[in-house]
Structure 1
């Protein structure tokens, strides 16, 4: 059975400009994908509690957010039975090796450093949307975990 046409993405990011850019890029890559944004980790978890199931196809998660940061969200998602299998893509301006290692060990599926240009942002989103998460074993190839455009 092929992937469903309509995907659902959650984006947790406290930067309103980044959220708008992400949405614009997503619309150019896929007009059938629903985007739901949260301004911080507390809002994301609240959103998850009220809307899952059905789970989103993927969560894009910024690390540096007020109230509850991306590390705390990732830990809560991975420790919640109903959410533990939802793919989580860390989407952050930081590319520090220590941070990348920490979220890899914490169970994130992918780490994308926020691209500096709109075409690269579109490329990053398309790459994630094209992944068949049911058949993607990211733990086998840790060097494929971190993408910098």
Structure 2
């Protein structure tokens, strides 16, 4: 298991949202390395595969190809080694059932992606400040 508390795992299939998220993090002076998984299977492979990354926070979209975000979250929470990883759903979904199911599966936070870049950048800045600066992760 690779322990890298400075790593952010961004699970996002939309290239525009990926670029916006990374740009907003950089604009907020968050210098953490960002690894990107572009579908749910890739995320599972990064977390449970040979590399076994342990990011400081996982930013998880719900609407993903191959394996949706809720299934990725379920698998993270059912494994003792990954159960305490901070997971933030960052999605455009405004479906109440997605919010409810995410919390039932143990998500740490659920954030809807704002539509315009200024609001998105501010939400990302606040997200980064909280999860990467203020939040204390459980010991490994």
TM-score (norm 1): 0.79
Deviations 1:10-58 (A, max 9, x none): 01111111111111111111242111000100000111123335x1111
The answer to whether the Cα contact below 8 Å between 1:11 and 1:37 also exists between their aligned partners in 2 is: yes
How far, CA to CA, are the matches of 1:52 and 1:105 in structure 2? Answer: 25
User: Which deviates further from its counterpart, 70-79 or 80-89?
Assistant: 80-89
Deviation at 1:111, TM superposition (A): 0.6
What is the aligned partner in structure 1 of residue 51 from structure 2?
51
The number of equivalent residue pairs is 129
Q: Which residue of 2 aligns with 1:133?
A: 135
- Is the CA contact (8 Å cut-off) linking 2:28 and 2:125 kept in structure 1? yes
Larger relative CO (CA 8 A, sep 6+): 1 or 2? 2
Question: Which contiguous aligned blocks of 4+ residues in structure 1 show a shift greater than 6 angstroms?
Answer: none
User: Residue 14 of structure 1 aligns with which residue?
Assistant: 13
Q: Do the aligned partners of residues 67 and 124 (structure 1) sit closer, same or farther apart at CA in structure 2, a change above 3 Å counting?
A: same
1:31, 1:71 → 2: CA distance? 27
Whether the 8 Å CA contact 2:24–2:125 is kept in 1: the answer is no
Query: Using the alignment, how far apart are the partners of 1:79 and 1:31 within structure 2?
Result: 30
Q: Distance in 2 between matches of 1:30 and 1:45?
A: 28
Alignment of 1:1-149 (within 5 A): 7-49=6-48, 50-53=50-53, 55-131=54-130, 132-134=134-136
**Structure 1 vs Structure 2 CA RMSD:** 1.7
Counterpart contact for 2:10–2:35, Cα < 8 Å: yes
